[in-house]
Structure 1
Amino acid sequence: MKKQVLVMAAVSSTLLFACVSPKKLREAESRYTQLNGAYLELQGKLRTCEQNAKDSADAYNRRKTAYEYRLNNATEQVDFLKQNNNQVLNQLKDLSVISGSQAESIKKSLENIGMKDAYIKDLQSAIAKKDSLNMALVMNLKGAIGNLDDKDINIKVDKGVVYIDISDKLLFKSGSYDITDRAKEVLGKVATVLNNQPNIEFMVEGHTDNVKFARGILQDNWDLSVKRATSVVRVLQDQYNIPPARMTAAGRSEYVPVADNNTAEGKAANRRTRIVILPQLDQFFKLLENPQQGGGQPVPAPAR
């Protein structure tokens, strides 16, 4: 459009100045040539600007699209991280609760273990104390009785219990439950040691062999074993002043033998009177409850 205007202007100029001088015509043509060159140059610049503008718009759109993609991707990542963070926080919260509960349970378990360990140590100390007392009692009994034949009297500790076995030939005549004079001497020595331990309680057991026995008021070995036990208890009470509340009389007949009843030696060993020093559980637990006696810290006695 602009080109046509310029052409019309040039034609008009030619017609208008047809009568002008050649010099002015050449000037006009030169001017036209300059204007036309300027026009073409401007046209080129315009196309360049338009292309640059188009390129810039495309680049802008591409950059915009890329930025939008990156923005969307970053937004998705942020949302994902937020979600993960929430999950992690919840897990940590749950974990902290569980860990707290487990820690409390472990703490209580360790405390219980510590208490049980202390109790076991005190129990061991008390047992050792009791064993020491038993051994001292055995030594005192052996020292008091003196040099009697080991076959006639035997003093021992078995599973924490002190036993004094006295052969019936030292105490009674055959088939009798009357105490002999020699028996009273032996029982007197035993009574001396027992009286020095006023807290000790004991049981006197009568034992027989398996030979059937019946005489007078005695119907069998049960009667004989009981009568012999009560005879010993009466002597200890009446002649040696041992309180009866500390003693128990029992008959075991032939049913707790220490030897084979098929031999004469076995029968002789089974005919015996046994004094059993009864374990004092209340005194034993006092050893646990009193640190100055038991050697440890006070701990409660176990439930029974």
Structure 2
Amino acid sequence: MLKKLSLLLVVTLLSTSCVSKKLYTDLEDKYADLKKENRTLSDENTDLKTMLNQSKNDLAKLQMEYDKTFSERNMLQGEYDAIQSNLENLKASYDALEKNSSAAIADNSKKNRELLAQLESKEQALAAENARLENLKQQLESRSQRVAELESVIANKDAAMSKLKDAVSKALTNFEGKGLTVEQRNGKVYVSMENKLLFESGSWAVGSQGRQAVKQLGTVLADNPEIAILIEGHTDNVPYQGNAQLSGNWDLSTKRATAIVNILRENNAIKPENLTAAGRGEFAPIASNDSAEGKAKNRRIEVILTPKLDEISKLLNEI
């Protein structure tokens, strides 16, 4: 049934060039939205790391302020103890002088009142510092907990992506040396497949070997429902001269990306909303187009796997 529908689609597209133009325009718009979203995700990831570093700096400043306040509190405590001792000594002197001189008693009484006033002032200052110290301590503990949670979430995301990269590499080990590479960078996993593994020259029909590779990749992706999957098609800089139905390399790269999406969608465990197809034509090369080897590397499909950052954003808003 799928083959019949595909044949009907090809016949329809061959019979009317305006449909191809509309498809190209829709795909081009979708790719522009995707590119914007991808750039937003990349900027968000950079902002999140910047905010994490800022949170760590704020935490360090808060720790310094806490230590300084703790030292000042201890100094006030020492002054308070010294005044308390002095007061007790004066009280003893007062008791002794009370028998000898009313003038001395009056002077001692004045000093007592002054010391009591100082003592009361120090007690108030000490109470205020203790309250401030307790408040800073609570802020420090709360901030430390949030930073620890954020570091844990980021570490878990990185670990999950490393695990995903290992699982993808293991699933595609039979295709090593056949134009397939798996890399992890910038918090994402990149699966690159050269066209020699997937397509005939000028075609967007996936061959049997390429289909098997994509299906094995889909098996891993089905076990990771929280991963966004972007499929990008790329070409070399040689102008497309094949089917007149296509407008050029950009159109061809888009159709190839869509062909990979359609194979992945055959796996019902993969969420369709996680899939995006985009064509980039010859405008994102990874090698020079001056040699046949470089052109072969540029003719590729890239599957970009990105984790969701909702949990990290929530923690940053709470810090």
Corresponding residue SS for 2:175: coil
C-alpha distance 102-193 of structure 1, shift in aligned 2 (>3 A)? same
Whether 1:301 and 2:315 are equivalent positions in the alignment is: yes
Whether 1:197 and 2:211 are equivalent positions in the alignment is: no
Conserved in 2, the CA contact under 8 Å of 1:206 and 1:252?
Answer: yes
Corresponding residue SS for 2:303: strand
Deviations 1:19-41 (A, max 9, x none): xxxxxxxxxxxxxxxxxxxxxxx
C-alpha distance 244-106 of structure 1, shift in aligned 2 (>3 A)? same
Whether 1:267 and 2:295 are equivalent positions in the alignment is: yes
Offset at residue 247 of structure 1 (A): 0.8
Corresponding residue SS for 1:260: coil
Corresponding residue SS for 1:108: helix
Conserved in 1, the CA contact under 8 Å of 2:157 and 2:307?
Answer: no
What TM-score does the superposition give when structure 1 sets the normalisation length?
0.59
Q: Partners in 2 of 1:96 and 1:214 — Cα distance? A: 90
Within-5 A mapping of 1:35-114:
78=107, 82=110, 93-114=120-141
Whether 1:176 and 2:190 are equivalent positions in the alignment is: no
Offset at residue 85 of structure 1 (A): 6.4
Whether 1:166 and 2:170 are equivalent positions in the alignment is: no
What TM-score does the superposition give when structure 2 sets the normalisation length?
0.57
Tell me: higher relative CO, structure 1 or 2? Use CA pairs within 8 A at least 6 residues apart. 2
AA aligned opposite 2:152? S
Conserved in 1, the CA contact under 8 Å of 2:175 and 2:213?
Answer: no
Q: Partners in 1 of 2:241 and 2:139 — Cα distance? A: 60
Whether 1:280 and 2:294 are equivalent positions in the alignment is: no
Whether 1:218 and 2:246 are equivalent positions in the alignment is: yes
The aligned counterpart of 1:142 is 169
C-alpha distance 187-90 of structure 1, shift in aligned 2 (>3 A)? same
The aligned counterpart of 1:254 is 282
C-alpha distance 264-301 of structure 1, shift in aligned 2 (>3 A)? same
Conserved in 2, the CA contact under 8 Å of 1:153 and 1:167?
Answer: yes
Offset at residue 207 of structure 1 (A): 2.1
Within-5 A mapping of 1:219-238:
219-237=247-265
Conserved in 2, the CA contact under 8 Å of 1:214 and 1:221?
Answer: no
Q: Partners in 2 of 1:147 and 1:259 — Cα distance? A: 25
Greater fraction of residues in helix: 2
C-alpha distance 264-105 of structure 1, shift in aligned 2 (>3 A)? farther
Q: Percent identity?
A: 34
Q: Partners in 2 of 1:260 and 1:102 — Cα distance? A: 67
Conserved in 1, the CA contact under 8 Å of 2:253 and 2:281?
Answer: yes
Q: Partners in 1 of 2:207 and 2:247 — Cα distance? A: 22
The aligned counterpart of 1:156 is 183
CA radius of gyration, larger in: 1
Offset at residue 78 of structure 1 (A): 2.8
Deviations 1:163-221 (A, max 9, x none): 11111211122233222222111111111222233343311111223334465243343
AA aligned opposite 2:301? T
Q: Partners in 2 of 1:85 and 1:151 — Cα distance? A: 94
Q: RMSD between aligned alpha carbons?
A: 3.3
Q: Partners in 1 of 2:307 and 2:293 — Cα distance? A: 31
Gaps of 5+ in 2: 1-100
Q: Partners in 2 of 1:85 and 1:255 — Cα distance? A: 88
Q: Partners in 2 of 1:256 and 1:112 — Cα distance? A: 48
Corresponding residue SS for 1:278: strand
